[in-house]
Amino acid sequence: MTETDIVLETKGLKKDFVLSEKEILSAVDNVSFTIRKKECLGVIGESGCGKSTVAKIISGVEVPTKGSIRFLGEEITGLRNREMKTVRRKMQIIFQNASEVVSPRMKIKSFLLDSYVNYRLMSKKDALLHISEMLKRVRLTDEVLKKYPHQVSGGELQRICIARAFALNPDFLICDEITSALDVSVQDEVMRLFRKMQKEYGTACLFICHDLALVNNYTDRVMVMYLGQVVEIIDSSKLGKEAKHPYTQALLQSVLFVSSDRESELKVLPGEPISSINARPGCRFCARCPKAKPDCLKKTPELKKLGENHFVACFRV
């Protein structure tokens, strides 16, 4: 991997929220990763592990307490709204619930035209021609342009949001649970379409998801987070067989895949996550880890390289 291949690089990202004079919530702690051109990095972990907070920091919605973000070779940490406008044209976001993104009073035509108007990319006539082409790519017709959001299905609305995100030909996409609001029967269709367009456009992608099967099937690498920290990064193709961190293994054992044996049993992870308020040194997974020993409470494990594209933060690996 060369420097020119890297689209996004974060180093030591940290985000603390001050709850009171004596309480500080550590939402993201020392998160470092890179995403290359055409690569889709999946991010998984329990609710509250910091996935969406990382996305908000990268997109400029939240300002990091510490750390660095480099986008297309330039430092963008702490840029103001006016400075971020140029960045956001190259960095698009597809949100979880499409119905909350599109104004119920706005027709689909106005919603799709908005990006072209905002960045003054082309005339309205040329923009409509481009929109028509983008709709074809997401298997929709121009008929949807006359409709309001409530007049199309959830799957169609999410495909419209995908078309809008790719319309600006971004270098980087953040996808935050883009299939969780869809029926299972529609999820696979939307993901196949998204992955096809992502490869065609050569767009790098940060794909946040709770569905381990989707992440396994539609991403190139997987980053596993637990209570604000990265515990493992691994190629998606090796996730099922070569994952080493006890938490990653526990996640895999809690899901039945289509290829699973009929006799397989779901294993629920015991215990409860520790509090991220006034977090102390030590492994945050220690209280639930079957391999934990006393020294795991004393020092926080660092992310170390095990092999090509494989990093693990655990003293027992």
Distance CA 58, CA 72 (A): 13
Average model confidence (pLDDT) for the chain? Answer: 89
CATH number of the domain bearing residue 278: 3.40.50.300
Distance CA 268, CA 250 (A): 8
Structure confidence at residue 256 (pLDDT): 62
Q: Order across the sheet with 91-94: list the strands.
A: 91-94, 172-176, 204-208, 40-44, 221-226, 229-235, 310-312, 304-307
199 is a domain residue: yes
250 is a domain residue: yes
55 is a domain residue: yes
Which of the two residues, 282 and 272, has the higher pLDDT score?
Answer: 282
81, 83, 84, 85: CA torsion to nearest 10: 90
317 is a domain residue: no
Which of the two residues, 132 and 119, has the higher pLDDT score?
Answer: 132
Structure confidence at residue 260 (pLDDT): 56
216 is a domain residue: yes
Portion of the chain with pLDDT greater than 90, in percent = 55
Q: What mean pLDDT do residues 192-196 have?
A: 90
157 is a domain residue: yes
**Cβ–Cβ < 8 Å for 236, 222:** yes
153 is a domain residue: yes
Number of folded domains that form the chain:
1
Structure confidence at residue 42 (pLDDT): 96
Q: How many CB atoms lie within 10 A of CB 117?
A: 12
Confidence check: pLDDT of 108 > 90: yes
* β-pair partners for 44: 224
pTM here? 0.90
203 is a domain residue: yes
Q: What mean pLDDT do residues 194-209 have?
A: 93
**Cβ–Cβ < 8 Å for 296, 282:** yes
Lowest mean pLDDT among 111-115, 198-202, 264-268: 264-268
Confidence check: pLDDT of 49 > 60: yes
Confidence check: pLDDT of 265 > 90: no
| Residue 176: domain span | 3-312
